[in-house]
Amino acid sequence: MDPLLRSELIRYGEMAQSCYDAFDYDPFSYYFGGCRFPRRAFLDSLHLTRHGYDVTRYLYATANIRLPNFFTKSRWPNLWSPKANWIGYVAVSDDETSRVLGRRDIAIAWRGTVTRLEWLADLMNYLKPVDGKKIPSRDPRVKVQSGFVDLYTEKDDSCHFCKYSAREQVILFNATKNSI
C-alpha cells in the first residue's frame, strides 16, 4: 500500500475510533450520552495530538423515537441532556499540518451505533429517500438507511444540544469555517 494513503487511513481511522473511546456509556454517570472529555482537551486525552488537529466543535444528535420508560438514558434524574447524545466532532488541521498536507484539512468524525435508541433506530432497517429529509440529491431515487438518516436530520427545538440536527451542525460549521 502507498505509505501516504496508509497514513491517511490510519489518521482518519483513529479519529473515528476516538468517538467510541470518548463516549460516556456509563448509565450511572451524570454525562451519560455525552463526551468524557472537554473539547479543548479531547485529542490530548486520547493521545492523538500527533495528528496536528484542533477540535473546533462537538456534534450532537437526537433520536426522536417514542418508546416506553425502560429506555431511559441515565439513572440521574436531572441529566445533562435528556434528548441529545454526543456523536462526534469537527477537527481542523493546525498550520503545521496544513503546510505538510498542502491544504487546510477539516475532518468530521462521528461514532456509529452505541445506545439502545440508536440500535432500535437501526433495526428499522428500511431505506428512505433523502429528498424527503431535505438533503439535496440530483437523483430522487437515492435512499439512505432510515436509522442513520433520522439521527442525521432530526432535531428538537427544546434541547440546547440538538436544537440543530447533526446535518445542520456540520453545514453551520462549513458556513463559518472562515472565522476559525
On average, the pLDDT of the chain sits at 84
pLDDT on residue 179: 42
Return the pLDDT at 71.
42
Provide the CA 103 distance to its chain's centre, in angstroms.
Answer: 23
> Distance between CA atoms of 37 and 40, rounded to whole angstroms?
8
What is the percent of the chain where pLDDT is above 90? 45
CA distances (Å), 57 to each of 84, 130, 160, 172, in order? 15, 25, 14, 11
Range of the domain at 162: 3-179
Q: Domain with 69 in it: what CATH number?
A: 3.40.50.1820
Structural domain tally of the chain? 1
Q: E-strand spans in 82-139?
A: 84-93, 106-110, 127-129
pLDDT at 51 over 90: yes
CA distance 114 to 165: 18
pLDDT over 90 (residue 154): no
Q: What SS3 state is found at 43?
A: helix
Structure confidence at residue 174 (pLDDT): 61
Pairing of strands 106-110, 84-93: antiparallel
Report field, pTM of the whole predicted structure over 0.85: no
